[in-house]
Amino acid sequence: MTDALPYETLRERHARTVAELLPGLLAALDLPRADVLRLQVKRLRELVAWAKEASPFHRRRLAAVDAASLTIEELPRLPIMTRSDMMASYDEILTDRRLTLDLVNSHLAGLREDAYLLDHHHAVMSSGSSGLRGVFVYDWEGWAICYCGYLRNLLRARRREKRFYDDESGGILGAMNAAHSSTALFQTFSKRARHVIFSVTSSLAEIVDGLNRAQPTVLQGYPSALHLLALEAREGRLCIAPKDLCVGAEPLLPEIRATLEATWPVPIWNAWGTSEAGALALSCGYAPGMHLSEDLVIVEPVDDQDRPVGPGTRSSAVLVTNLYNRVLPLIRCKITDEVVVVEEECPCGSKLRRIADIQGRSEEWFRYGDVSVHPVLFRDPLGMAPNVVEYQVVQTVPGASIRIRTGGPVDLPSLRDAIAASLRKAGVPEPEVDVASVAQLPRSRTGKIQRFVPLGRQGSQDS
Q: Measured from the CB atom, is 248 or 289 closer to Zn ion?
A: 289
Q: Report the C-alpha gap between 100 and 273 in whole angstroms.
A: 25
Q: Report the C-alpha gap between 182 and 225 in whole angstroms.
A: 15
Q: 225-264 mask for Zn ion (x: CB under 5 A)? A: ----------------------------------------
Q: How many Cα atoms sit within 13 Å of 301 on the Cβ side?
A: 20
Chain residues 5-24 in contact with Zn ion, contact rule CB under 5 A = none
- By CB under 5 A, is residue 348 in contact with Zn ion? yes
Q: Measured from the CB atom, is 30 or 434 closer to Zn ion?
A: 30
Q: Measured from the CB atom, is 32 or 456 closer to Zn ion?
A: 32
180 alpha carbon, distance to own chain's centre:
8
* Binding piece for Zn ion, criterion CB under 5 A, among 40-48, 59-67, 345-353, 370-378: 345-353
* Binding piece for Zn ion, criterion CB under 5 A, among 1-9, 164-172, 189-197, 339-347: 339-347
For the bound state, the minimum distance from the C-beta of residue 286 to Zn ion, rounded and expressed in Å, comes to 5
User: Phi and psi of 58, rounded to 5°?
Assistant: -70, -35
Nearest to 401, CA basis, from 462, 455, 460: 455
- Three-state secondary structure readout of the chain: CCCCCCHHHHHHHHHHHHHHHHHHHHHHHHCCHHHHHHHHHHHHHHHHHHHHHHCHHHHHHCCCCCHHHCCHHHHHHCCCECHHHHHHCHHHHCCCCCCCHHHHHHHHHCCCCCCCECCCEEEEEECCCCCCCEEEEECHHHHHHHHHHHHHHHHHHHHHHCCCCCCCCEEEEECCCCCCHHHHHHHHHCCHHHEEEEECCCCHHHHHHHHHHHCCCEEEECHHHHHHHHHHHHCCCCCCCCCEEEEECCCCCHHHHHHHHHHCCCCEEEEEEECCCEEEEECCCCCCCEEECCCCEEEEEECCCCCECCCCCCCCEEEEEECCCCCCCCCCEEECCCCCEECCCCCCCCCCCEECCCCCCCCCCEEECCEEECCHHHHHHHHHCCCEEEEEEEECCCEEEEEEEECCCCCHHHHHHHHHHHHHHHCCCCCEEEEEECCCCCCCCCCCCCCEECCCCCCCCCC
Q: Measured from the CB atom, is 224 or 270 closer to Zn ion?
A: 270
Q: Measured from the CB atom, is 184 or 245 closer to Zn ion?
A: 245
For the bound state, the minimum distance from the C-beta of residue 60 to Zn ion, rounded and expressed in Å, comes to 40
Q: Measured from the CB atom, is 25 or 135 closer to Zn ion?
A: 25
For the bound state, the minimum distance from the C-beta of residue 261 to Zn ion, rounded and expressed in Å, comes to 17
* Binding piece for Zn ion, criterion CB under 5 A, among 23-31, 176-184, 231-239, 338-346: 338-346
For the bound state, the minimum distance from the C-beta of residue 252 to Zn ion, rounded and expressed in Å, comes to 16
Q: Report the C-alpha gap between 284 and 286 in whole angstroms.
A: 6
Chain residues 83-122 in contact with Zn ion, contact rule CB under 5 A = none
Q: 285-314 mask for Zn ion (x: CB under 5 A)? A: -x----------------------------
Q: Of the candidates 70, 124, 172, 284, which one interacts with Zn ion according to CB under 5 A?
A: 284
For the bound state, the minimum distance from the C-beta of residue 51 to Zn ion, rounded and expressed in Å, comes to 32
For the bound state, the minimum distance from the C-beta of residue 32 to Zn ion, rounded and expressed in Å, comes to 15
Through-space distance between the first and last CA atoms of the chain, rounded to whole angstroms: 52
Q: Measured from the CB atom, is 26 or 196 closer to Zn ion?
A: 26
Dihedral sign, Cα of residue 328, residue 330, residue 334, residue 338: positive
Q: Measured from the CB atom, is 341 or 348 closer to Zn ion?
A: 348
- By CB under 5 A, is residue 282 in contact with Zn ion? no
Q: Measured from the CB atom, is 7 or 286 closer to Zn ion?
A: 286
- Number of amino acids touching Zn ion (CB under 5 A): 5
For the bound state, the minimum distance from the C-beta of residue 291 to Zn ion, rounded and expressed in Å, comes to 6
Q: Measured from the CB atom, is 233 or 348 closer to Zn ion?
A: 348
For the bound state, the minimum distance from the C-beta of residue 35 to Zn ion, rounded and expressed in Å, comes to 17
For the bound state, the minimum distance from the C-beta of residue 26 to Zn ion, rounded and expressed in Å, comes to 14
For the bound state, the minimum distance from the C-beta of residue 378 to Zn ion, rounded and expressed in Å, comes to 36
Q: Measured from the CB atom, is 282 or 420 closer to Zn ion?
A: 282
Q: Of the candidates 94, 245, 346, 393, which one interacts with Zn ion according to CB under 5 A?
A: 346
* Binding piece for Zn ion, criterion CB under 5 A, among 78-86, 158-166, 281-289, 302-310: 281-289
Q: Measured from the CB atom, is 135 or 279 closer to Zn ion?
A: 279
For the bound state, the minimum distance from the C-beta of residue 455 to Zn ion, rounded and expressed in Å, comes to 41
For the bound state, the minimum distance from the C-beta of residue 274 to Zn ion, rounded and expressed in Å, comes to 20
Interface with Zn ion by CB under 5 A: which residues?
284, 286, 346, 348, 350
